[in-house]
Structure 1
Amino acid sequence: MKSKRQLNQSSTSSKKVNFKDGKKGLQTISKKGEAMGTCATFNKKYLCCRVHVLRSVHNCPYECSYCFLQNYLTDGSTKIVDDIDTLMQEVKGNISMAPWRLFRIGTWELGDSLALERESGQAARLIREFAGLKNAVLELKTKSDCVDTILDLDHNGRTVVSWSLNTEHVRNTEEHRTAPLKDRISAIQKAGKAGYLIGLHFDPMIFHRGWEESYDALVMQVFKAISPDKIAWISIGSLRFNPEMRKKIDNNYPDNGLTCAEMVLGDDSKVRYVKPLRVGMYQRLYGELKKYIPAETLVYLCMERWDVWDKVFGYHPESIGHLDYMFARSLYERFGLGPEAPNRDNYEKIPIPKNK
């Protein structure tokens, strides 16, 4: 099916080009090396959710000024892995080694999970595969409204369709070429009606004039469209990036409103807003969310320390394994997902990757 963006199918090329130029073409490639791994942001000095990633999408047709891909990818094309059978062999091999565990596996680390679905059909094939897995759920995360081709699939409740959401101001000034907020919310409503569980990612929260009222309005818009009972999880995080990326942001997006903010360097070698500002933003958003969601809805912070959790939620998970267990317990108790009732001790014993 021809893309509205008129992306061109082409053969794989080794030519190195500008980051933005790579968004103009779409290539299908074979899987090379390991595709499933730990989220790249995993750091034992922070409370991480221990989600797994499936690197099946590389690059993205959108141009978010804060996106880390501009500091990471140098290859000149958006790529989609097309040999789903090989991908799934790796997934099944990995999850079979811990049949008691519920794995959360997302395709969003190096690109948008659904932005190119009309052209590739990759997500639909993964949805069908995950429908038959007992101890894994697929997360598709997007800033698009491209859900029409997956609405009639038999997903068996094993796919969470998630949206990265931000205020109208941020979308209009920093999230270039992405679906308008109203279209994303309409897509959320469609996916919910199709029986999918929904994930919400208010990340990165970005400080701007009127941010308080803007995030309040965003939350209200979302829950006018979707029942809170359909929400699998909600994440909250703030703007953060590697220090060397500041210059690239300014070069690629000279009108950005990001790089003048006061920021501090964290132990993960990323700069982020000063802690009092982050805490205040999180508290404001969480306070608004609590007006709509049941108490048992899992809301978590992305890449924050224990003390920030305490200030925002009044508690913190005791370890990375504990947070992983909290996900498994929530999904099992609320939606019946998982091979068995989760045992916290099992999740606590999962080793932290040595290179993290």
Structure 2
Amino acid sequence: MTDPLSTPTRIWTPSRVLVTRSAADHPHSAEILRRCEAAGVEDIEMLTGDRLTGLRGENERQTYALAKKTLAVVVAPPSARKPQPIPPSADWRIDLARGCPAHCQYCYLAGSLSGPPVTRVYANLDEVLDGIPTHAGRGAVTSGTLERGHEGTTFELSCYTDPLGIEHVTGSVAEAVRRVGAGDYGDGVSLRFTTKFDDVDELLTIDHGRRTRVRMSVNADEVAHRFEGGTARMPARITALRRLALAGYRVGLTIAPVMPVPDWREQYGRLLADVAEALRDVPDLDLTVEIITHRFTESSKEILLSWYPATKLEMDESVRSAKRTKFGGVKYVYPKEAMAEMRSWFLDELDRVLPDAQFLYWT
């Protein structure tokens, strides 16, 4: 019987690609189409307009399945090209794409993006990256701060996708890393992104100038194996983290979403020990840690249950605490006592196992 932990990561390749009329005029579209054709995509449709059609099936499950097989090449509108503050992660957020090919049953995007969960990559990459020089030197998270000022002004790549998960058919991350590494936008800026994928080969060959931090999204075995479909296995992610660190990248852990599953201390303890062993002999290691606990909203729960009706993910409002967001909504988080217990354990364990790591935040 095959050991699921040893199964190679299957790189996501869309079954079909839709290119809007406006997107077809941008140079980066040619690179996207070149990569898609090289990956064996045969169903590539050049649309006569900018409206995406044919995205819905007969029910929500069919719509979800169809959307997850589709890559749409579109133009980012002006509203999506303006960098937005994104504390506590970075100074600013810029989006290379929206939508994700993974099948995480707690999907952060559920309720955040409207319509079928199609992955949309932006063809007007030049315009998207033009937000970097206009916001360099501004920001309140890293820019000018004592704790993280050495990172300069930080730009989070794509909070609405896993950019590495689609990179082999887009090339957007490589181009952004290359430009920032070459100093095209000045010396005082850096990029950062989080991924659950391990296809880092192309990134290892780029002259990144140590101006990009790649963070691996990691979790306890039970959480990752049960709820993170279509992603790299945990050992593969940790190996990719090591390879990136050895290539001189600043790296990080995004431990998320933390869940108090049975034996959570043992499971997360093994995770941290595995990371420590993988990074033990890396020279000039620059490692950060961010920890995010699981939460959900009424709308995200409804969407997730339509996508994953048989999920075992705990989304029971009666055992959670309601927390009002700055926009007036309500999200359900773990009770105060459970949050305090988990936070205390993680901080102690990090100090013991990864003492040189910089802890950034818990939420």
TM-score calculated relative to the size of structure 2: 0.75
Alpha-carbon distance, 1:84 to partner: 2.4
Q: Aligned residue for 1:38?
A: 84
| CA offset digits 1:1-25 (Å, max 9, x no partner) | xx94331322244235334532211
1:5 to 4, 12, 17: 12
Contact 2:105 2:311 in 1 (8 A): no
1:186 counterpart SS class: helix
2:190 to 137, 141, 152: 137
Change (3 A) 1:194 1:36: farther
Runs of 4+, deviation exceeding 6 Å = none
Contact 2:290 2:362 in 1 (8 A): yes
Deviates more, 1:111-120 or 1:19-28: 19-28
> Cα RMSD between the aligned structures?
2.2
Contact 2:95 2:128 in 1 (8 A): no
5+ residue gaps, structure 1, are 43-47, 304-356
5+ residue gaps, structure 2, are 1-9, 21-50, 57-62, 145-151
2:253 counterpart SS class: strand
Alpha-carbon distance, 1:177 to partner: 1.0
Change (3 A) 1:179 1:211: same
Change (3 A) 1:23 1:166: same
How many equivalent residue pairs?
293
- Where in structure 2 are the equivalents of 1:290-305 lying within 5 Å? 290-294=351-355, 297-303=357-363
1:266 to 319, 323, 328: 323
Q: Aligned residue for 1:347?
A: none
Change (3 A) 1:286 1:36: farther
TM-score calculated relative to the size of structure 1: 0.76
Contact 1:39 1:109 in 2 (8 A): no
1:73 to 113, 134, 138: 113
Aligned equivalents of 1:4, 1:241: Cα separation in 2: 28
Contact 2:193 2:215 in 1 (8 A): yes
Aligned equivalents of 2:105, 2:179: Cα separation in 1: 34
Contact 1:62 1:178 in 2 (8 A): yes
Aligned equivalents of 1:178, 1:141: Cα separation in 2: 13
Q: Aligned residue for 1:183?
A: 236
The one of the two structures with greater contact order (alpha-carbon pairs below 8 A, sep at least 6) is 1
Change (3 A) 1:142 1:49: closer
**How high is the sequence identity, in percent, across the aligned residues?**
22
| CA offset digits 1:97-123 (Å, max 9, x no partner) | 67x742211113100021011111111
Q: Aligned residue for 1:201?
A: 254
Contact 1:106 1:139 in 2 (8 A): yes
Aligned equivalents of 1:93, 1:246: Cα separation in 2: 38
